[in-house]
């Protein structure tokens, strides 16, 4: 190959490589642009969806709060954010009392407290027995006794809601007789507070948790 031919081959080769490189750089830029746009849109969609979930949650809370305040007759309202139970009649606040909320635990066979509209399904008094679930003894690190139906295990007063959660008073007997513990998925009030509220509720009384 002559020197001239070699020079030409060099020039052509370099030109081809440069063109290929330039093409590839362009492609990479395009890819980066597309990827960045996809990423931006995904982040924006994630953020917007989170905002929408939050807005829907707020709308649910506001709707339930308003339903409770517009309910004729007696109703209970439980505000999960402020941890308060309110007794209402015709939307007017009769009594507002602090409560503690039992978070769901891995061991507990109970669901986390959910927002929604419920009804009172059961009302228990101080002399009523409650069949304490076995998992509660296990969770409290106690042996499961032969007889698990304990009188007053839910305190002087307790209300079970239509979907399962309990509102109960701190008892003096049984595995729940511990002021530092609240049954998972349940709502606990002071005995005196709840005793003043439960005489006013009956099966079917609306309960709003928001």
Partner 1 sequence: MTDPIRPADPQPAAPSRLRRWLLDAPPLLLLGVAAAIGVAGFGTRRAIATASAERQAAEARLDAARREAAAAGDSLAAVRAVSAGPAGDTAFIVVSIAENRLWYKRRDSVLFTTRVATGTGGELKKTAGSKATWKFDTPRGRLKVERKDESPMWVPPDWHFVELAKKKKLSLVFLKGAMTVPVGDGSVIALSGQDVVRRMPDGHEIPYDAREGREIIVGRKLIVPPLGTHQRRFAGVLGAFRLYLGDGYGIHGTDVPSSIGRSASHGCIRVRNEDIEVLYQLVSVGTPVLVY
Q: Among 114, 196, 202, 210, which residue interacts with partner 1 (rule: CB under 8 A)? A: 196
Binding mask 56-85 for partner 1 (x = CB under 8 A): x-xx--xx-xx--xx---x-----------
178 touching partner 1, by CB under 8 A: no
CA angle 98, 104, 109 (to 5 degrees): 125
Buried b (16+ CB within 10 A) or exposed e, 173-198: ebbbeeeebbbbbbbbbbbebbbbbb
**CA distances (Å), 41 to each of 28, 48, 51, 54, in order?**
20, 10, 15, 20
- Minimal CA–CA distance to 164: which of 105, 122, 104? 122
Least distance from C-beta 96 to partner 1, angstroms? 8
Q: Which H/E stretch holds residue 169?
A: strand 166-169
Count other C-beta atoms under 10 Å from residue 95's C-beta.
Answer: 14
Q: Is 65 exposed, middle or buried (0-12, 13-18, 19+ CB in 10 A)?
A: middle
Size of the site for partner 1 (CB under 8 A): 58
Taking CB under 8 A as the binding criterion, the range among 48-56, 101-109, 147-155, 161-169 that sits at the site for partner 1 is 48-56
Count other C-beta atoms under 10 Å from residue 162's C-beta.
Answer: 16
Nearer to partner 1, 151 or 192 (CB): 192
Count other C-beta atoms under 10 Å from residue 158's C-beta.
Answer: 26
Q: Among 77, 85, 93, 154, which residue interacts with partner 1 (rule: CB under 8 A)? A: 93
94 touching partner 1, by CB under 8 A: yes
Nearer to partner 1, 175 or 198 (CB): 198
Least distance from C-beta 108 to partner 1, angstroms? 31
Q: Among 77, 78, 85, 87, which residue interacts with partner 1 (rule: CB under 8 A)? A: 87
173 touching partner 1, by CB under 8 A: no
Count other C-beta atoms under 10 Å from residue 51's C-beta.
Answer: 10
Instruction: By CB under 8 A, name the binding residues for partner 1.
Output: 1, 6, 9-10, 12-14, 16-17, 19-21, 23-24, 27-28, 30-31, 34-35, 37-42, 44-45, 48-49, 51-52, 55-56, 58-59, 62-63, 65-66, 69-70, 74, 87, 89-96, 192, 195-197, 199-200
């Amino acid at each position: 190959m002559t020197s001239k031919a070699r020079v030409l081959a060099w020039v052509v080769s370099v030109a081809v490589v440069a063109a290929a490189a330039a093409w590839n750089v362009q492609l990479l830029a395009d890819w980066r642009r597309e990827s960045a746009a996809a990423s931006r849109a995904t982040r924006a969609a994630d953020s917007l969806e989170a905002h929408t979930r939050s807005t829907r949650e707020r709308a649910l809370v506001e709707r339930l709060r308003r339903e409770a305040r517009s309910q004729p007759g007696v109703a209970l309202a439980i505000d999960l954010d402020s941890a308060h139970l309110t007794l209402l009649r015709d939307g007017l606040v009769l009594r507002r009392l602090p409560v503690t909320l039992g978070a769901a635990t891995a061991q507990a066979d109970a669901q986390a407290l959910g927002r929604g509209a419920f009804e009172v399904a059961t009302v228990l008094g101080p002399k009523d027995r409650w069949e304490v679930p076995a998992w509660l003894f296990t969770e409290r690190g106690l042996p499961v006794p032969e007889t698990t139906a304990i009188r007053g295990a839910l305190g002087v007063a307790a209300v079970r809601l239509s979907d399962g959660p309990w509102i109960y008073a701190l008892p003096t007997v049984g595995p729940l007789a511990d002021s530092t513990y609240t049954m998972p998925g349940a709502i606990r009030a002071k005995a005196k507070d709840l005793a003043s509220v439960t005489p006013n509720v009956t099966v079917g009384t609306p309960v709003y948790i928001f």
